[in-house]
């Protein structure tokens, strides 16, 4: 199979510029010189110190032990007085107590945001400067307050954390599979006339991205403004290091968000985990689906890949346009944002309900992603159905899940039956016993891997987006989602979760007693390190 076949370019004459896009060298070496590289170096340094004191500096060993204990005590007091999450404090206390020469420098390195300070200042400036770029229609919030005071209160909170108005007159279409989203995405891209903005965590060469790229190149040649942004981790996992240059030669503006930098990147901190596509300011997509062939089941990695997405058409698209432009303009001297927010967008008068797109930024003190989920759990009366690929919970989220079930709410969690990573899978199982004891029902998707990020509750509320139930999504990543209240597709979302449950195996209370010893042991050992996963 040649390179063009791999990336799905069946008609070379139709898009001759695509011949530039052959497989290239990925930045694997750069990955080593990131957080992982520093961790290995510090671990070797710790071992060297231990060896040195045992064999060469025996007489100074008591002094070394006293110094280590004093330093560990100081760091413990310091940690207890920081605003770090309680679970993360426990993890860092353990690491520093056991390995002071490793843990303390690693903690300082992680907390220092080395290499991210300029990014943080620039994003704070952009987000503060665009906080009022989209005004909240007072009639919409008044109507929502009369219909659902609790949802209006949540809208007030999200408006406080960013420029996230709540909208009416927005049509929402739900896609229960990545294949469904891809087919509609292609149709909408073909109709673009003014601009296409795409922001994805993962882009990988293959049929899915190849077909999208053909359309993007054609549209760029027709004069449509095309911008593509992807996370810097793609540089060493899926794409060549010079990929932005290759796309620019096709007339497509392209950027990597936070490229990997030797000994500066903290690897998983502050990754752009969002999936956003905006077309002409009137159509937007979000959800769990990245641009790679496993997401449309053209390549099998972990059995059947179960993913979801939504398409918005109407006024709420403005919020996704703004979210994209905020990230894009991080390195622009003169950001041009307002004109893209003023493209004509026909309100969908027939559309029911309310739509509230929102983002979650790891650089501020708000935990918007987690708090929206907890708000749904705490206000639920009848049921909350959840699909998530990962379950690495802090104490607050675990308590919210348990308390909802203990109040009599039907709480159901749908998780992968075939994991993509063994360690998060083992950590997820450490929560099973406590959740099951409180009445939470857990299901594992037998055919394969669940990558969807979905909450649906009481036939009235739902969230579809990019936010997983793990520390990375809730604390360390840039994320986005659409909060839906009373929209027509709520029934479709509920039905999809129920259909997924029908294809899943329910986890029974005696499940963990029958689980493999290796998985239980792995989860036991990793539990204390879960905030760092």
Q: How far is C-alpha 328 from the chain's CA centre?
A: 17
The angle subtended at Cα 495 by Cα 493 and Cα 499, nearest 5°, is 120
**Residues 171/197, Cβ–Cβ less than 8 Å:** no
The beta strand positions in 263-382, using DSSP E, are 271-272, 276-279, 283-287, 304-306, 309-314, 354-360
d(CA 152, CA 142): 8
Residues in Cβ contact with 119 at an 8 Å cutoff, skipping those fewer than 6 apart: 258, 270, 330
**Residues 431/524, Cβ–Cβ less than 8 Å:** no
Instruction: Tell me the CATH number for domain 3-26+118-358.
Output: 3.30.870.10
Domain with CATH 3.30.870.10 in the chain: 3-26+118-358, 368-532
pLDDT by residue for the chain (533 residues), tens only, comes to 333 333 333 443 344 344 445 554 454 444 444 444 545 565 566 567 666 666 666 666 676 667 777 777 777 787 777 777 776 777 777 777 777 766 677 777 666 665 667 777 888 888 888 888 999 999 999 999 999 999 999 999 999 888 999 999 999 999 999 999 999 999 999 999 999 999 999 999 999 999 999 999 999 999 999 999 999 888 777 888 889 999 999 999 999 987 765 544 554 578 899 999 999 999 999 999 999 999 999 999 999 999 999 999 999 999 999 999 999 998 887 778 889 998 888 778 789 999 999 999 888 878 999 999 999 999 999 999 999 999 999 889 999 999 999 999 999 999 999 999 888 889 899 999 999 999 999 999 999 999 999 999 999 999 999 999 998 899 889 999 999 999 999 999 999 999 999 999 999 988 777 777 777 777 777 776 666 66
Characterise 421 by phi-psi region: left (phi > 0), alpha (psi -120 to 50), beta (else).
Answer: beta
Instruction: Tell me the CATH number for domain 368-532.
Output: 3.30.870.10
Residues in the chain: 533
**Residues 522/423, Cβ–Cβ less than 8 Å:** yes
């Amino acid at each position: 199979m040649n390179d063009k076949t791999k990336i799905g370019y069946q008609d070379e004459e139709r898009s001759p510029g695509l011949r530039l896009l052959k497989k290239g060298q990925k930045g694997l070496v750069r990955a080593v010189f990131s957080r992982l590289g520093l961790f290995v170096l510090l671990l070797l340094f710790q071992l060297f110190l231990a060896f040195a004191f045992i064999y060469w500096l025996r007489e100074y060993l008591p002094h070394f032990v006293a110094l280590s204990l004093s330093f560990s005590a100081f760091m413990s007091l310091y940690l207890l007085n920081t605003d770090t999450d309680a679970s993360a404090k426990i993890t860092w206390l353990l690491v520093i107590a056991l390995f002071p020469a490793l843990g303390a420098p690693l903690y300082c390195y992680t907390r220092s945001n080395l290499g991210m300070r300029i990014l943080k200042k620039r994003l704070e400036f952009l987000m503060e400067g665009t906080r009022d770029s989209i005004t909240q229609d007072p009639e919409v919030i008044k109507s929502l307050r009369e219909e659902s005071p609790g949802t209006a209160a949540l809208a007030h909170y999200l408006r406080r954390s960013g420029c996230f108005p709540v909208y009416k007159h927005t049509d929402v279409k739900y896609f229960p599979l990545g294949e469904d989203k891809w087919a509609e995405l292609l149709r909408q891209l073909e109709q673009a006339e003014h601009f296409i903005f795409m922001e994805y965590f993962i882009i990988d060469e293959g049929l899915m991205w190849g077909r999208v790229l053909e359309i993007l190149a054609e549209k760029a040649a027709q004069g449509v403004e095309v911008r593509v942004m992807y996370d810097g981790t793609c540089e060493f996992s899926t794409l060549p290091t010079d990929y932005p240059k290759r796309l620019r030669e096709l007339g497509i503006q392209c950027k990597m968000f936070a490229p990997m930098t030797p000994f500066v990147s903290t690897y998983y901190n502050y990754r752009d985990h969002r999936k956003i596509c905006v077309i002409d300011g009137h159509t937007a997509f979000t959800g769990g689906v990245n641009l790679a062939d496993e997401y449309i089941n053209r390549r099998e990695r972990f059995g059947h890949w179960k993913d979801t997405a939504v398409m918005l058409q109407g006024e709420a698209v403005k919020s996704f346009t703004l979210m994209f432009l905020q990230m894009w303009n991080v390195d622009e001297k003169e950001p041009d944002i307002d004109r893209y927010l003023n493209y004509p967008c026909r309100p969908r008068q027939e559309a029911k309900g309310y739509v509230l797109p929102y983002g979650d930024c790891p650089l501020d003190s708000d935990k918007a992603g987690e708090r929206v989920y907890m708000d749904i759990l705490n206000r639920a009366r009848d049921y909350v159905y959840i699909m998530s690929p990962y379950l690495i919970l802090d104490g607050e989220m675990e308590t919210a899940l348990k308390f909802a079930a203990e109040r009599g709410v039907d709480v159901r969690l749908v998780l992968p039956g075939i994991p993509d990573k063994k360690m998060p899978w083992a950590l997820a199982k450490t929560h099973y016993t406590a959740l099951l004891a409180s009445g939470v029902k857990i299901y594992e998707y037998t055919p394969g891997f669940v990558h969807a990020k979905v909450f649906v509750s009481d036939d009235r509320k739902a969230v579809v987006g990019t936010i997983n139930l793990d520390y990375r999504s809730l604390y360390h990543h840039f994320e986005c989602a659409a909060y839906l209240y009373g929209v027509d597709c709520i029934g479709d979302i509920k039905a999809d979760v129920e259909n997924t449950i029908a294809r899943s195996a329910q986890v029974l209370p005696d499940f963990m007693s029958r689980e493999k010893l290796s998985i239980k042991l792995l989860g036991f050992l990793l539990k204390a390190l879960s905030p760092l996963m």
